[in-house]
Structure 1
Amino acid sequence: MKPALIQSLILVGLGGSLGAAAREGLVLAIPNNGVLPWAILLANIVGALILGLLLSALTRHASHHPSPTPPSHGGMLPRRRSLQLLLGTGFCGGFTTYSTLAVGIVSLSGTSISGRKHGHRLWPGHRHPRRRGHLARHGVGQPLMTPWVFITLAAAGGLGAISRFLLDGAIGRRFQTAFPWATFSINVSGSFALGLLTALAAGQLVSTEWALILGTGFLGGYTTFSTNSYETLRLLQEKRYVASLANALGTLLASVAAAALGFWLGALI
């Protein structure tokens, strides 16, 4: 494995872990009213803003301070690329999440996994406001947040970010089009997986702790709202209006549908 690739994976994994930990900390700090996932919405907005500012700053810096010589193919990464991977692909990608948003929208229908009305929703990102503590909380259907769970969740977020980075590169090399099929595929597949995982956890086939680690951690780091927002804006700036609209609305509709399908299939198991 080439040194540049190893460095890329380390930076993305580290940033993804920090982003997932920050997102979970935000969820712990902001009470959930049982209607909208305010903490996730805030994380997505802030993360998208940070990514936009970061990439804009890096672009301006590159135009004023061009590299004298391009980096060697197998050498170490330049500083700008390292910052982009650590803070952009890693942290912002791990801090924002599309899968939890999609599952949350499905949950807003008020229909339980089995199809009956319910008063308690089980999905990563939902926290009962009166069952909330610093790093220790539990209750009916609620995961026990311990330091071990929190650290494992953060590590899983790093692994999810690395998986996103590798899959994005593989799809990008195969489908070199203006439309961001890589991010689209990642968000849709992650939303399906989270819907399935949430249904399995509701049926007690997966422990709530592992549902939190895999759902909020791995799949939260695997899917990304910030990249989707940035790519939508990029298409708009390039005057690809149809592609921009398709990316924004298409990703949302497809991800919500995939999450609902995951719910349904998980309920059958």
Structure 2
Amino acid sequence: MSGTVHPLLGALLVGVGGGLGAAARFWVADGIKARRPNGFPWGTWIVNAVGSLLIGLLTGWLVLADGNEPWRLLLAVGLCGGFTTFSTATVETVTMFRGGRHVAAVLHSVSTLAVSVLAAVVGIVLTSALMGG
């Protein structure tokens, strides 16, 4: 099933994947926060890093598999989009900054971006290597 997808099916795939991803994000981030309540948003940081690795792996696979659009919509756009959260990371950074935790805010912001980009690159390169692309 590659190629274009009917817009209604695409919206359904993104919605299902996004709902599952958002629920997984809540479960993971909340679980991490419960175990490490030191004020640094490790839960959001970890889901963004893991989600970026996952979307990198999926992107590498989908590109080498001639871009299977339904899977891209369900897994990359929906699941990974719902699992990762730039907006929450941004609000957490602003909250730390406003609370006087300037170093933590800058570290959170810079490390979230750097680790997420690196994880996506690693995922794409790893999938390409494993699939011989």
1:239: which partner in 2? 100
Q: Deviations over 1:72-103 (max 9, x none)?
A: xxxxxxxxxxxxxxxxxxxxxxxxxxxxxxxx
Relative to its length, the structure with more helix (as a share) is 2
Q: Pick from 49, 58, 69 the counterpart of residue 188 of structure 1.
A: 49
Separation in 1, partners of 2:29, 2:66: 31
Report which structure shows greater RCO (CA 8 Å, sep ≥6). 2
What secondary structure sits across from 1:244 in the alignment? helix
1:112: which partner in 2? none
Query: Is residue 130 of structure 2 the alignment partner of residue 264 of structure 1?
Result: no
1:145: which partner in 2? 5
1:35: which partner in 2? none
Structure 2 gap ranges (5+):
none
What amino acid sits opposite 1:266 in the alignment? T
What secondary structure sits across from 2:40 in the alignment? coil
Could you say which structure has the larger radius of gyration?
1
Q: Pick from 62, 77, 84 the counterpart of residue 223 of structure 1.
A: 84
TM-score (norm 2): 0.91
2:20: which partner in 1? 159
2:72: which partner in 1? 211
How many residues are matched?
128
Shift of residue 143 of structure 1? 4.2
Separation in 2, partners of 1:191, 1:244: 20
Q: Deviations over 1:98-134 (max 9, x none)?
A: xxxxxxxxxxxxxxxxxxxxxxxxxxxxxxxxxxxxx
What amino acid sits opposite 1:173 in the alignment? A
What secondary structure sits across from 1:212 in the alignment? helix
Separation in 2, partners of 1:205, 1:159: 25
In the TM superposition, structure 1's runs of 4+ consecutive aligned residues that sit over 4 Å from their partners are none
Shift of residue 206 of structure 1? 6.6
What amino acid sits opposite 1:144 in the alignment? T
Shift of residue 239 of structure 1? 0.7
Separation in 1, partners of 2:57, 2:23: 22
Separation in 2, partners of 1:258, 1:225: 15
CA RMSD of aligned residues (A): 1.5
